[in-house]
Structure 1
Amino acid sequence: MVRRFLVADALSLLGNAAAAVILPWLVLVRTGNATAAGTVAAASALPMLLSAIGGGVLIDRFGRRSMSVIADLGSAMSIAALPIVDATIGLNLGWFVVLGVAGALFDVPGLTAREALLPEVARASGTPIERVAGLREGTAAVVLLVGPGAGAVLLALTGGPAALWLTAATSALAALVTSSLRVRNAAPGTGARPARGNWWAEVAEGWRTLRDDQVLVALTVLVTASAALVGSLLGVLLPVRLAATTGPQWLGAVITAIAVGSLLGAGLYAASGARLHRRTWFVAGACVHGAGLVLVAALPGPPVMLLGAVLAGAGGAPLSSMLTVIVAERVPDVLRGRVLGFQNAVGLGVAPVGMLLAGIAVDRFGVLSVSRLMALAWAATILVVLALPALRRLEAVDAHHR
């Protein structure tokens, strides 16, 4: 069962990764306007953010497996509609925006539904949840390594819209595999809950659950801040620096190094996550991840930068896996989708803001000054987080809500 779950997750992520390469290229070719690609991405941003929150409510109402299947089928249809429209009436910017927004409405709820489904897969298969979380993180790292390249190969082989049929097929196949999982679909309706139909009350209940748990808040802030920093480094600071020095080819090498490190860290956590104290994992992961990001942010020569990227990935993967495990333990089953939805929404919202602020700061103060300031700020952040009393209590809690 764990293998099928991982295959479904990999297929869904692979389709999204390939589409992220194919769609911008197709927009540019069909419109002849570089701004158009940015317009499609910007138009999809707000619906994606809202769907992360609203999707959490739907997951808790209708079930994790059901919503995962629906989301993957919706994503497949959104992608498949592009070559159909292109072959019939022709694609233009309006169609790219409409179908891009439609795809965005399905992608994040699907991701959230699979995250919410993970504890049920672990429970039904008798596999330690740490192992399943580590394996899933490793699967994501593999997709990061091969997904963009697969998209580029499809473009080279098919020349355009036909490549989208294969990406749509991966999402449809993911839905098929997920539907075969024999796990508890929805949480039993225990505990006091607002009546169904009171949408905002259900959203607020999920927010309060996350807000009132100091451990979840601290870990969510740490992982989100890390994602924002990585996005700023890869999206702004490194391209600016490398364009003026060694050349853009090293940017791809840094991304690959992060993925390799993530694969190593995830494999180690999958193998040993349940054997060591969580505080040990947390301290080791935070220190290794923090040291790696500080090295990258210092913008050294390529060898040191690649070493930092590997360390950042190796330390970050156990932290992300731990967050999955701790959410499963600390959040009642009937609220898991909403809490995960809020966490994903925060991550989606913070990353582009961080890139925007980094770009403004680089234009004003220069890339070296900004990068070194970010390195110092991140080092200080890690020291503060390690000292937080809330993060000294990471061991398993009594899972009465299960």
Structure 2
Amino acid sequence: MMYRLLIGRCLSALATALIPTTLTLAVLRVTGDGGALGIVLACELIPMLLLLPVGGVLADRFRPARVVLVADLTRCLSQAAIAAELLLGLNRLLDLALLSALAGAAIAFGSPAVPRLVVAVVPVRDRLRVNARIGVVTSLSAVAAPAIAGTITVGVGPGWAAGVTAVLFACSALTLGGIRTAARPRSDAALDERGRTCPVRLLGPGAFSSFGQDLAHGWREIKERPWFLACVLGHGVWHFVAGLFLTLGPVAAVLHLGGEASWMMIVQSGTVGMFLGVFAAPRLPIRRPLTAVQAGAACYLLPLVALAVSAHVVVLAAAYFVAMFGLGLLSPLWETAVAEEIPEGALGRVRSFDQLISFASRPFGLAVAVPLAGLTGVTALAVTGGVLVAAANLAAIAWSPPRRARPAEEVAAGPHGAATGSG
């Protein structure tokens, strides 16, 4: 089942990464208007943000494989409809916007279910290794997808690129949706006041809580863990500052550091750094994962300082490499640590809050970067952003929970679960 999970996540990650380039090229080819592109992208983002809390509740109420199946099939249908629209030459902006909104809603329902699916399939001793592998395939997809989508669009048109995306979503839906997980008990179990599974007799009449009660239980789990809230807010600052850098960095590179090739060098160095960080995460002797997570996020200070002082392109590329190496460490360690600390019955709701902060912060940073730079100057904005991202994430270390002893069977298996194989 673990290999099936990895294959399904690879297909889904590649399909997801194909969408932005395909949609961007399609809208620009149809309208030639950057404002129209902004409308279509906003139509995907807004329902995703609004529906994430709902998706978190559903992820905890139903089998995660079924939730992911429906979500990926919905995205498959939306991409197939976009492909048909473009191939038939209809080219209606309203249709593309509505179909993008449907895809955004599907992301909101599917994303919180993925951590629960990993927990349901992967034993505790193997989770860090599996999360690292998922991080690797996701990183590779993010690198390969723009080239794939661009090649297909230039060669035969954006409609065919959307069609390929639809096929990939169909394959991921069938792969992930076919994973067998334990059924959520309906007749003799439900959630207690803290979101944990417990016998219905402990709850009295009305075995299943309302949507509002489920949402409140999820928020209670977050409030009881100040470390989680502090870390998530720090990660939100990271995403916001990343939006600033990814807007100001290309402008500085093109105008002052040697042109487009300089920015591509910076981006590719970051890609290599992230890949190596993900690869290293399960192999390093990290005794306090949450400390490593927050230190990794704080490393984003480096490229912002380099940008502020107009450092040479090689220095900026090296700084971005270190920052993205930190992100590579962060991703699998965070996924694993949260799965260990949060009760499985509340994991979908808790992670939906995490994803909501992350999904909202980066577009906000992208949107306000130029206006803020016009008010303060690039140097002041970069320094401020760097100080904020370092301070917010390093301060969260103070709330880290004490490290728990590893179970005896995990110790016996070794740091990589070697005693049990990879299943």
- Output the TM-score relative to the length of structure 1: 0.89
In structure 2, the CA distance between the partners of 1:159 and 1:205, relative to structure 1 (3 Å rule), is same
State the partner residue of 2:335.
324
Task: State the alpha-carbon separation in 2 of the partners of residues 249 and 350 from structure 1.
Answer: 28
* 1:174 aligned residue (172, 175, 179): 172
Q: Offset at 1:308?
A: 1.4
376 and 32 in structure 1: CA distance in 2 versus 1, 3 angstrom threshold: closer
Structure 1: how far apart are the matches of 2:260 and 2:102? 33
C-alpha spacing 1:148/1:211, structure 2 compared with 1 (3 Å): farther
SS in 1 for 2:181: coil
Does structure 2 retain, via aligned residues, the 8 Å contact 1:289–1:314? no
Pair 296,306 (structure 1): closer, same or farther in 2 beyond 3 Å: farther
Structure 1 residue identity aligned to 2:261: Q
The Cα of 1:292 is off from its aligned counterpart by 4.8
Cα deviation, 1:52-94, whole Å, max 9, x if unaligned, reads: 2111111111221111111111000000001223455712111
By how many angstroms is 1:196 displaced?
4.3
Mapping 1:3-402, distance limit 5 Å: 3-88=3-88, 90-123=90-123, 127-184=125-182, 186=184, 189-192=189-192, 196=208, 198-234=210-246, 236-246=247-257, 247-272=259-284, 276-277=286-287, 279=288, 281-287=289-295, 289-299=297-307, 300-386=311-397, 388=398, 390-391=399-400, 393-395=402-404
Q: Does the C-alpha gap of structure 1 residues 288 and 12 become closer, same or farther in structure 2, counting only changes over 3 Å?
A: closer
Unaligned runs of 5+ in 2: 194-205, 408-423
Larger Rg: 2
- Comparing 10-19 and 194-203, the one that deviates more: 194-203
Which residue identity does 1:26 align to in structure 2?
A
| Residue 287 to residue 216, structure 1, CA distance change in 2 (3 Å) | closer
Query: Distance between the aligned counterparts of 1:165 and 1:117, measured in 2?
Result: 27
Per-residue deviation, residues 10-54 of structure 1 (Å, max 9, x unmatched): 111111111110111111212232211101112222201022211
CA distance in 2 between partners of 1:252 and 1:110 (Å)? 32
TM-score by length of 2: 0.85
More helix, by proportion: 1
* SS of residue matched to 1:271: coil
Task: Say if 1:376 and 1:327 are closer, same or farther in 2 by CA, change over 3 A.
Answer: closer
Distance 1:199 1:284, change over 3 A: closer
Cα shift readout 1:352-377 (whole Å, capped 9, x = no counterpart): 22333433220112112211222233
Q: Is the 8 A contact 1:2 1:121 kept in 2?
A: yes
Contact map agreement 2:22 2:149 (CA 8 A) in 1: yes
Shift of 1:382: 4.4
Assess, with a 3 A threshold, how the Cα gap between structure 1 residues 332 and 127 changes in structure 2: closer, same or farther. closer
Counterpart contact for 1:203–1:338, Cα < 8 Å: yes
Q: Distance in 1 between matches of 2:323 and 2:137?
A: 17
**C-alpha separation in 2, matches of 1:335 and 1:44:** 26
Question: CA 1:307–1:11 in structure 2 vs 1: closer, same or farther (change >3 Å)?
Answer: same
For 1:195 and 1:357, how far apart are their aligned partners in 2? 47
Distance 1:346 1:195 in 2: 31
CA contact (8 A) 2:237 2:389 kept: no
Larger CA deviation: 156-165 vs 21-30:
156-165
Deviations 1:129-162 (A, max 9, x none): 1111222222221112112111112212222212
Which whole-Å CA distance do the structure 2 matches of 1:382 and 1:158 have between them? 46
Q: CA RMSD in A?
A: 2.4
CA change 1:324–1:186 in 2 (3 A) is: farther
Distance in 1, Cα, partners of 2:155 & 2:185: 45
State how many pairs are aligned: 389
Superposition deviation, residue 107 in structure 1: 1.9
Moved more, 183-192 or 97-106: 183-192
Identity %: 24
SS of 1:90's equivalent? coil
Q: Secondary structure at the match of 2:282?
A: helix
Structure 2 CA distance for partners of 1:330 and 1:380, relative to 1, 3 Å? closer
Contact 1:223 1:319 in 2 (8 A): no
Residues 11, 65 of structure 1: CA spacing in aligned structure 2 closer, same or farther, 3 A cutoff?
same
Question: Post-superposition shift, 1:182?
Answer: 2.8
SS at 2:91 equivalent: coil
TM-superposition CA deviations, 1:304-333 (whole Å, max 9, x none):
111112211211222222221222122222
1:224 corresponds to which letter in structure 2? G
Moved more, 247-256 or 361-370: 247-256
Find the aligned partners of 2:406 and 2:92 in 1 and give their Cα distance. Answer: 53
**Unmatched segments (≥5 aa) in structure 1:** none
Can you list the C-alpha shifts for 1:160-204, whole angstroms capped at 9, x where unaligned? 212211111111100111133233354784442686472222122
Distance (Å, rounded) in 1 between the aligned partners of 2:164 and 2:49? 27
Distance 1:230 1:285 in 2: 16
Deviation at 1:102, TM superposition (A): 0.5
The 1:95/1:283 distance shift into structure 2, 3 A limit, reads same
SS at structure 1 position matched to 2:167: helix
Structure 2 CA distance for partners of 1:94 and 1:266, relative to 1, 3 Å: same
Between the aligned partners of 2:221 and 2:180, the Cα distance in structure 1 is 28
* 1:359 maps to amino acid: V
Q: Which one-letter code corresponds to 2:145 in the other structure?
A: G
The one-letter code matched in structure 2 to 1:295 is P
CA separation of 1:326 and 1:304: change in aligned 2, threshold 3 A: same
Question: Contact 2:67/2:110 (CA < 8 Å) preserved in 1?
Answer: yes
Matched to 1:253, the amino acid is: M
